[in-house]
Structure 1
Amino acid sequence: MTGYADDLALAHRLADAADAISMARFGALDLRVESKPDLTPVSDADTAVEREIRALLAEQRPDDGLLGEEYGATAATGARQWVVDPIDGTKNFVRGVPIWATLIALLEQGRPVAGVVSAPALGRRWWAARGTGAYAGPDATRGEAIRVSGVRELADASLCYSSLGGWEEAGLLEPVLQLMRDTWRSRAYGDFYGYMLLAEGALDVMIEPELSLWDVAALVPIVTEAGGTCTDLAGRPAPAGAETSAVASNSLLHSDILDRLARPAAR
């Protein structure tokens, strides 16, 4: 592995440090949870994980920029930026649901080139860098190559989506409901997990109407290196800005999904 090998190795070390902190706080009786200004929850595990990752990156990559969900952005001297979601799935984390993960991405010129997704409560990690393929396993030393499915027909596809309330707010509830009717199976696994199941070939489409850069940056290299496609609702490569939407698929179904989710005014 060349190109981003050192960066990916560092991302794994960051994930190891994050896992040690988050697992120690998962299910803790003294876990502290507060509400952010947007009324989403943040736990002491979220902030502790991000502080540790920031400290390690300041030591290992002092010239790189950093954007984290909890503490914002630090400037870079070049075109490289790390993007971190310390715990994606905080609502699951605080309720004892094991589907949550630390997301770590490296961007160059604003495009994701490497990503690690670590879900220690599931005993699972996913990673990829540009041109290397995508992998999953218990840790960095025990990974196996993963690949999206070969499903070609929507009637045979397994669809994953975020909350229906979000699609209703986006004015696209009916197209999503029709997608659910037209696909073989539909489930709302939520957050990072649907994208990783897509990359493994366990499902075929994942859609989300609104998310932030730190929610998606680490997912894109894994999905695309596994042979999938990830765009916003307009078909632009994801992430398409600090706030974006996401349509991820096994590539074979992508055009059909985008057509079905096109806003009425754009048809």
Structure 2
Amino acid sequence: MTDPLHTELLEIAQEAARRAGALLRDGRPADLAVAATKSSPIDVVTEMDIAAEKLITTLIADRRPDDGFLGEEGASGDGTSGVRWVIDPLDGTVNYLYGLPTWAVSIAAEQDGETVAGVVEIPMRGESYHAVRGGGAWATGAWEGTRALACRPAPPLDQALVSTGFNYVTEVRTRQAEVAARLVPLLRDIRRGGSAAVDLCDVAAGRLDGYYERGLHPWDLAAGDLIAREAGALTGGRPGERPSHALTIAATPGVFEPLQRLLEDFEAWR
């Protein structure tokens, strides 16, 4: 039986993600511009990132004033309830800036340091993904109703479709390109969508066999990692480690292990 608290957290996350997604989809200015930069001049923040995070944190704080926050655009606080919300109000900001459809709102709830509920809203696909720890992964979209998610049966690695992402720091992305070049001959192909949250959901939905990336932050992966795991995928980082800033991997069982070995051999974390 699902913990009633986890169900409550999921319902709040779904409402917040839905409202933020609608704001971002319907409120995008025609003259949208960069409001700030982060790790480099091409790692951007728009006014809509900031507005979406404010909407999310205000809604959650109204419902659960004792909870903590960790948000990409600055929301931070420990709270006193043991629950912390990990928020990426707009994952795929560069896609959004250019009018590309692959972007998402990602909201996860942690209890005592463990992710217990997660939602990824993908407005331009008309899709929403969610999971509660131990309750499976689910999606709503153009299909009727809500459907359970399951990752794909594992193909041989040379027939696996794998996605990745690139950092906005030039030295790091150059190294990432070198790793991708070594992987390409060993896989069916590599995709680069531009949103970690969407890629993790695509693993969960069976649209990808695997995904890896260096340089993710907790808000990039918290919700999507739970959704992928609840759909049957394996997730991790370097051997024996959890997903982290050094390396995040999510893949169907049978692809995860050989992909992780290759990434370790290629020092993808470096």
Q: Is TM-score (shorter-chain normalized) higher than 0.5? A: yes
* 1:264 Cα deviation from its structure 2 partner: 6.2
Matched, 1:188 2:192: yes
CA distance in 1, matches of 2:69, 2:58: 11
CA 87–180 in structure 1, closer or farther in 2 if over 3 Å, else same: same
Question: Could you tell me whether the CA contact under 8 Å between 1:112 and 1:221 is conserved in 2?
Answer: yes
Give secondary structure in 2 for the equivalent of 1:236: coil
Match of 2:154 in 1: 151
**Residue identity in the other structure for 2:220:** D
CA distance in 1, matches of 2:258, 2:237: 14
CA distance in 2, matches of 1:186, 1:172: 13
* 1:175 Cα deviation from its structure 2 partner: 4.3
* 1:244 Cα deviation from its structure 2 partner: 4.2
Match of 2:11 in 1: 9
CA distance in 1, matches of 2:69, 2:105: 15
CA distance in 1, matches of 2:206, 2:266: 31
Matched, 1:219 2:220: no
**Residue identity in the other structure for 1:226:** A
CA distance in 1, matches of 2:265, 2:75: 32
**Residue identity in the other structure for 2:180:** V
Match of 2:125 in 1: 122
Matched, 1:210 2:225: no
CA distance in 1, matches of 2:61, 2:249: 33
**Residue identity in the other structure for 1:60:** R
Unaligned runs of 5+ in 2: none
Give secondary structure in 2 for the equivalent of 1:144: strand
Moved more, 31-40 or 126-135: 31-40
**Residue identity in the other structure for 1:35:** A
CA distance in 1, matches of 2:187, 2:38: 37
Aligned residues: 261
CA 262–167 in structure 1, closer or farther in 2 if over 3 Å, else same: farther
Match of 1:255 in 2: 257
Question: Could you tell me whether the CA contact under 8 Å between 2:179 and 2:266 is conserved in 1?
Answer: no
Match of 1:34 in 2: 35
CA distance in 1, matches of 2:156, 2:171: 26
* 1:52 Cα deviation from its structure 2 partner: 1.0
CA 53–264 in structure 1, closer or farther in 2 if over 3 Å, else same: closer
CA 100–74 in structure 1, closer or farther in 2 if over 3 Å, else same: same
Moved more, 66-75 or 81-90: 66-75
Q: In the TM superposition, what are the counterparts of 1:169-180 in structure 2 within 5 Å?
A: 169=172, 171=175, 173-180=177-184
Give me the identity figure in percent.
31
Give secondary structure in 1 for the equivalent of 2:65: coil
CA distance in 1, matches of 2:177, 2:130: 32
Give secondary structure in 1 for the equivalent of 2:152: coil
Match of 1:85 in 2: 88
Moved more, 152-161 or 118-127: 152-161
CA distance in 1, matches of 2:155, 2:61: 45
CA 176–235 in structure 1, closer or farther in 2 if over 3 Å, else same: farther
CA RMSD of superposed structures (Å): 2.4
Give secondary structure in 2 for the equivalent of 1:118: strand
TM-score normalised by structure 2 residue count: 0.88
**Residue identity in the other structure for 2:223:** A
* 1:263 Cα deviation from its structure 2 partner: 4.9
CA distance in 2, matches of 1:261, 1:248: 12
CA distance in 2, matches of 1:101, 1:175: 26
CA 118–180 in structure 1, closer or farther in 2 if over 3 Å, else same: same
* 1:262 Cα deviation from its structure 2 partner: 1.0
**Residue identity in the other structure for 2:216:** L
Question: Could you tell me whether the CA contact under 8 Å between 1:25 and 1:31 is conserved in 2?
Answer: no
CA 182–250 in structure 1, closer or farther in 2 if over 3 Å, else same: same
Question: Could you tell me whether the CA contact under 8 Å between 1:213 and 1:244 is conserved in 2?
Answer: no
TM-score normalised by structure 1 residue count: 0.89
